[in-house]
Amino acid sequence: MARILDGKWVRDEILKELKPRVADLTRRGRRPGLAVVLVGHDPASEIYVRNKEKASAEMGILSEKYTPAESVSTEELLVLIDSLNARDDVDGILVQTPLPRHVDSRRVLVAVKPDKDVDGFHPVNVGKLVANMPGPRACTPAGIIQLLKRYEIPITGQHAVVMGRSDIVGKPMALLLLHESATVTVCHSRTRDLPGECRRADILVCAIGRPAFVTRDFIKPGATVIDVGINRITDADQLKKIFGDTPSRSIIGDAHPVEAAEAAGAYTPVPGGVGPLTIAMLMSNTVQAAEDHLRCSA
C-alpha cells in the first residue's frame, strides 16, 4: 500500500511556524487583516469561507467577511473592492469564486491591488510567478510544493505530469514545479493517450474535477499521486462501483481511491490531503503581505 501524505499535518506545521510572525506583527501594532468577499449562498463556498474564518481566528489574524446579495452588480463589487484597497488595516483581500454569472469576474479580481492579492491571481502576481520573483503564489499549488518538500519527496530532475490547465491550479502548479527543476508535462481534455502520458510521471497531480477518473492505468508503479479533486457522490451504485460492498465515504478525489492506494508509492487522500494546505497558504500569504506593508510604511 502507498504511503499516505497527510495534508493536515503539513497544515499544522505551517500554521505553527506562522504564529510567532503574527505575534511579532501584533506587538508592533500591525495585526494582519484579511477581508473575504462572499457573494450569494453557494454551500461549498460558505463552508470554505467558514474554515478560513476559523483559521484566521486561531492565528490571531483579523478577519472580516462581506456578503453581498446574489444580485450584486459588477460595479457594486468594484466599489467594495476599492474601499478595501484603500484601508491600511486590510492586508489581504480574497474574493471567493465562483461569482454569479452576471458578474464580470475578471474585472473584479483584477481590481484587487496586487499587494493585497492573497490568492495570487492578479496578472502582476502571475507575472512574478512566471519570472520566479517574490510574490503571493496561488494557494493550492504552493501548498502542494510544501507537502512534497516536507515529506522529502524529490522534485528536482523528476518527471511531473499535471492533469488540468486551470488558472487556479494547473498552470501555476506547472510553473512552481518547473521552478523546482522538475521536467513538467501539462495534460488536458485534448491530450492524446492521456493514460500513457500520466504513466510517465514520477509526480502526478490530478486536477480535472472528475471523480475516480485516474485509475491504475494512469499511474506509474511507485509514483507520487497528488489528488486535488473534491467531488461529492450521492449515487449508491457509483459508490459501490468504486469501493465495493462497503463504501467508506461520499467525498471522492479525481484519483480512484482504491487503485491509487495500490499502485502509487505515495498519495494524498481525499479528504485530508490537499484541501487543508490551501487555507494554510492563504494564511501564509496574508502574514507575508502584512510584513511587507509594515516594512514599506517604516
Positions annotated as catalytic residues are: 52, 96, 119
Exposed (0-12), middle (13-18) or buried (19+): which is 1, by Cβ within 10 Å?
exposed
Residue 32 DSSP SS3:
coil
d(CA 167, CA 190): 17
Measured at the alpha carbon of residue 279, what is the angle toward residues 142 and 222, in degrees to the nearest 5?
50
Number of neighbouring beta carbons within 10 Å of residue 152: 6
What are 277's three cell numbers? 494546505
Give the pairing type, strands 251-252 and 231-232: antiparallel
Give long-range contacts, CB 8 A cutoff, 24+ apart: 77-86.
Answer: 77/37, 77/39, 77/103, 77/108, 77/111, 78/107, 78/108, 78/111, 80/37, 81/37, 81/108, 81/111, 81/112, 82/111, 84/35, 84/37, 84/116, 85/111, 85/112, 85/113, 85/116
